[in-house]
A = this chain, B = another copy of it.
Amino acid sequence: MKFPILIINFKSYKEAAGPRAVEIAKAAERAAKELGVNIAVAPNHFELALVAQSVEIPVYAQGVDVESAGAYTAHTALENVKEVGASGVILNHSEAPLRLNDLGRFIPKARALGLDVVTCAPDPRTSLAAAALGPSAVAVEPPELIGTGKAVSKYKPETVVETVQLVSKHFPDVAVITGAGIESGEDVEAALRLGTKGVLLASAAVKAKNHYQKIMELAKPLVR
């Protein structure tokens, strides 16, 4: 997984459903190429294969339910994230929380499959626990700020700083990124200044009138 990175989570937004998922992913791809920065997109489950075959930037699953492919109706499998051509997975988003013991199996398995693994957590101590399991990155996201437009990097900078300190002390191989309420390039810049290696965001990009322009704004602070 390459850093710094901007990860765009499409959630289950109607604005990113069906062919619109491909449009947003292509806007992100164009911005990534022009700026020479790392941008990954995380389409909804329904569009994962479609988007993975449409763009060359990293495509992440928003989560998984089980490790192996098989007789699991209506479940998403880690193994199939790879099969459809995606290159990473977000685990434990606050809207899709996972059991500790499942994370303890999913994270090593995902790494063994060569997938990027971003594990979300709501606070510094839980981020430390997530980091202990060996993901590529932990994304600290205070749930009370998600979707509010109040950027974590401005409203809870101490949460971000404490997470960076705790994780880098115990598990220096695990990157720390952040998210929640990120709306502007300025918010992204603030997040990087706090010591993170990237940002996870959703509505700011997905609901923008002009996806390409907005993603350009959000990704510019990643240019060194």
Contact = CB atoms under 8 A, between A and B. Distances in A.
Q: How many monomers of this protein are in the complex?
A: 4
Interface residues of A, number: 67
Contact of A44 (B13, B76, B126): B76
Interface stretch (A86-94, A154-162, A191-199, A211-219): A86-94
A71 B202 contact: yes
Contacts of A53: 18-19, 50
B122 A128 contact: no
Contacts of A223: none
Nearest to A94: B101
Nearest to A66: B12
Contacts of A108: 125
Contacts of A9: 73
A123 interface: yes
A93 B212 CA distance: 40
B129 A125 contact: no
Contacts of A62: 73-74
Given A17-B69, A77-B12, A99-B97, A125 B134 contact: yes
A200 B121 CA distance: 29
Contact of A11 (B61, B72, B92, B130): B72
Contacts of A126: 100-101, 103-104, 133
Contact of A90 (B11, B73, B130): B73
A71 B11 contact: yes
Nearest to A64: B74
